[in-house]
């Protein structure tokens, strides 16, 4: 009999799309995220002062949308925009991230004059069953290190499920 441990299975927890900008440019980023996902983005404020970039605490510096359900179609489009290729150094434990230089590279997306040419970042976060134990408010528990999703597991999962090619040397 095949006794496979269900608690070791990997699944995608969420897909996060974000755009960084300041001033009037942030509204264009909000329009872009709304166009791609159909959801209202949340604006992010700076916590630190960076004089070289003109950033001060409280200034809006980006917009973000988190997709927790029905994200497979959007994720496939985002991966198609980078030709289903990701560098191995973009993968870390529990997640991987990649950037899209221009949103018009995404299949099915047309140029919008009011948005202009703009890019975005995509982060895909993975989890195993039981992660809620560390996140819940009552009777919170600790999760061991073996509960983390490793780089190799993420690479195998994405190669099998989404047919992604990972480039670069193996770590």
Mean pLDDT of 78-92: 93
Residue percentage of the chain with pLDDT more than 70: 99
* Mean pLDDT computed over every residue of the chain: 91
Query: What backbone torsions phi and psi does residue 161 show, to the nearest 5 degrees?
Result: -85, -40
**pLDDT band for position 171 (50/70/90)?**
low
Statement: residue 54 has pLDDT above 90: no
Q: Is 15 in a helix, a strand, or coil?
A: strand
Cβ contact 120:19 at 8 Å: yes
Residue 35 CA: distances (Å) to CA of 29, 32, 76, 108, 109? 10, 5, 16, 11, 9
Query: In this structure, how many other beta carbons lie within 10 angstroms of the beta carbon of residue 109?
Result: 15
Statement: residue 2 has pLDDT above 80: no
**Closest by CA position to 116, among listed 28, 30, 26:** 28
Statement: residue 96 has pLDDT above 70: yes
Residue 23: its pLDDT value, please?
A: 80
């Amino acid at each position: 009999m095949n006794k496979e441990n269900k608690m070791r299975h990997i699944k995608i927890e969420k897909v996060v799309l974000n755009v960084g900008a300041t001033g009037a440019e942030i509204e264009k980023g909000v329009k872009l995220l709304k166009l791609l996902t159909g959801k209202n983005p949340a604006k992010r404020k700076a916590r630190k002062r960076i004089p070289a970039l003109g950033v001060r605490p409280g200034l809006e510096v980006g917009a973000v949308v988190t997709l927790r359900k029905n994200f497979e179609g959007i994720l496939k489009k985002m991966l198609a925009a980078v030709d289903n290729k990701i560098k191995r150094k973009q993968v870390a434990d529990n997640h991987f991230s990649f950037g899209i230089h221009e949103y018009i590279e995404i299949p099915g997306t047309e140029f919008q004059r009011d948005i202009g040419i703009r890019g975005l970042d995509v982060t895909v976060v993975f989890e195993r069953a039981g992660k809620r134990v560390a996140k819940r408010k009552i009777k919170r528990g600790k999760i061991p290190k073996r509960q983390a999703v490793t780089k190799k597991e993420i690479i195998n999962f994405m190669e099998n499920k989404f047919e992604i090619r990972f480039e670069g040397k193996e770590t």
